């Protein structure tokens, strides 16, 4: 266990700046998920900590030691790449004992540790198997056991769930968290899947274009994202431009198109703002019901998704709105019909108007 500190770390590949002056502290024993679209610099960040890439500038400090110039084998980290990179010609047992063996630990300790880790990931019965004989989920657990058996101070996981199919991914997601919590190792987990991030993370760090946008607990970031990009990346949002008039009681009156809405005010935000609401926070009602504040519109598209229904509602001057009500509540909605979209006051988020335009601010690539 150790604290990891990135101190103004920069790394470029040719003209592409993969990391820009990154300052990030990963607390001792913390499970940090680095979230961002592809090309955000997530893997570069991980490989820089691992020592597989040398930063152009800045320092990497692990457990108080400046390791910037140290080779990977001296850093006390364990790296698990997307492909797992299991050693094909070694058995599960040999994979798990690899790290203790190359570090020259006494045999008894090595065996004890490997056995413990393999039992923990429930592979002790398959110790003599070769990686190619294992299922995808077993391979992932084997790679995890190998990394844990390194007894590293920091565990670096690069999209550890990506290669699995959807159902298994959800299953192993929960398991992964339990295992690592049990061992208590400081962990950096990289992913582009926001759901994975929300579920696993003690804290989430959101990256974009090589820059750190925000760090915080999942609930904080989800409820109070600092930028429209982060808000949108954590869950589908509809945005519209509005003029905000903050009042004394902590709310702000919004004038958007011909509609007036109330929202929780945000310090310093007044005048032209960008307002947004999550598709899942909106409900729908028949146009004459008027159940709370909201806006009327015409349903342009309706997709049944099982538990929820995905609607695209043309809300006139407010623009198109994405709405995902529960199926039980919106079963009656048909394409071409008028509906009233309910937008609860506490779910409307306000952001400063981005200088480069809304679509550029939200762009994922």
User: Residues interacting with other proteins, by CB under 8 A?
Assistant: 47, 50-52, 71-73, 75, 77-83, 85, 87-90, 98-100, 102-106, 109-110, 112-113, 116, 119-120, 146-147, 150-152, 156, 174-175, 178-179, 182
Residue among 174, 103, 90, 186 nearest 137 (CA) = 174
Shortest distance, position 351 Cβ to other proteins, whole Å: 39
Q: What is the DSSP letter of 11?
A: E
If the CB atoms of residues 141 and 308 are measured against other proteins, the closer one turns out to be: 141
3-state secondary structure of 166: helix
- Measured from the CB atom, is 88 or 165 closer to other proteins? 88
Q: Output the smallest distance, CB 191 to other proteins, in A.
A: 17
DSSP assignment string, 241-298? EEEEEE-TTSEEEEEETTEEEEEE--TT--EEEEEEEEGGG-EEE-TTT--SSEEEEE
Which helix or strand (DSSP H or E) is residue 139 part of? helix 136-148
CB contact set of 249 (below 8 Å; sequence gap of 6+): none
Query: How much is the CA Rg of the chain, to the nearest whole Å?
Result: 24
The Cβ-side half-sphere exposure at 278, using a 13 Å CA radius, reads: 15
CB of 352 to other proteins, least distance (A): 41
The least CB distance from residue 39 to other proteins, in Å, is 19
Is the Cβ–Cβ distance between 172 and 161 less than 8 Å? yes
Minimum CB distance to other proteins smaller for 100 or for 325? 100
Q: Minimum distance from CB of 310 to other proteins (Å)?
A: 33
Q: 1 and 61 in contact (C-beta within 8 Å)?
A: no
Minimum distance from CB of 137 to other proteins (Å)? 13
* C-alpha to C-alpha distance for 338 and 40, rounded to whole angstroms: 40
Q: With respect to other proteins, which residue has the nearer C-beta, 45 or 318? A: 45
Classify residue 46 by its DSSP letter.
H
Q: Which is nearer to other proteins, 117 or 206 (CB)?
A: 117
Contacts 24+ apart (CB under 8 A), 105-111: none
Residue 176 vs 349, nearer CB to other proteins: 176
CB-nearer residue toward other proteins: 102 or 360: 102
User: How far apart, in Å, do the first and last CA atoms of the chain sit?
Assistant: 34
- Token pair 């056995």 is found at 115
**Shortest gap between Cβ of 134 and other proteins (angstroms)?**
16
Supply the minimum distance, in Å, between the C-beta of residue 81 and other proteins.
4
Measured CA to CA in angstroms, residue 268 lies from 125, 252, 272 at distances of 60, 11, 12
Residue whose CB is less far from other proteins, 21 or 151? 151
């Amino acid at each position: 266990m150790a604290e990891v500190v990135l101190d103004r770390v920069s790394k470029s590949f040719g003209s592409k700046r993969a990391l820009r002056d990154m300052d990030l502290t990963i607390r001792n024993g913390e499970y940090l998920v680095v979230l961002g679209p592809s090309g955000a610099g997530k893997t570069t960040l991980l490989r820089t900590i691992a020592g597989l890439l040398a930063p152009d500038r800045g320092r990497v400090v692990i457990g108080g030691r400046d390791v910037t110039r140290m080779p990977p084998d001296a850093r006390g980290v364990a790296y698990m790449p997307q492909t797992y990179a299991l050693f094909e010609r070694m058995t599960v047992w040999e994979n798990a004992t690899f790290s203790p063996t190359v570090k020259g630990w006494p045999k008894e300790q090595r065996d004890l540790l490997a056995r413990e880790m393999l039992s923990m990931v429930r592979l002790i019965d398959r110790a003599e198997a070769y990686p190619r004989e294992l299922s995808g989920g077993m391979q992932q657990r084997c790679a995890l056991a190998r990394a844990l058996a390194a007894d590293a101070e920091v565990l670096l996981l690069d999209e550890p769930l990506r290669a699995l199919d959807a159902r298994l991914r959800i299953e192993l997601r929960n398991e992964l968290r339990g295992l690592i919590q049990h061992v208590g190792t400081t962990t950096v987990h990289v992913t582009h899947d926001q759901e994975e991030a929300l579920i696993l993370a003690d804290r989430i760090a959101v990256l974009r274009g090589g820059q750190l946008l925000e760090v915080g607990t999942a609930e904080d970031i989800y409820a109070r994202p600092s930028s429209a990009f982060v808000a949108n990346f954590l869950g589908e949002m509809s945005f519209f431009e509005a003029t905000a008039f903050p009042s004394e009681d902590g709310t702000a009156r919004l004038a958007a198109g011909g509609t007036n809405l109330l929202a929780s005010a945000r310090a310093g935000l007044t005048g032209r703002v960008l307002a947004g609401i999550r598709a899942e926070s909106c409900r729908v009602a028949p146009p004459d019901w008027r159940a709370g504040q909201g806006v009327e519109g015409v349903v342009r598209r309706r997709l049944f998704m099982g538990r929820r229904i995905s609607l695209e509602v043309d809300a006139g001057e407010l623009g198109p709105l994405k709405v995902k009500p529960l199926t039980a509540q919106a079963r009656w909605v048909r394409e071409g019909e008028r509906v009233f979209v309910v937008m609860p006051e506490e779910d409307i988020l306000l952001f400063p108007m981005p200088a480069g335009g809304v679509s550029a601010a939200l762009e994922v690539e």
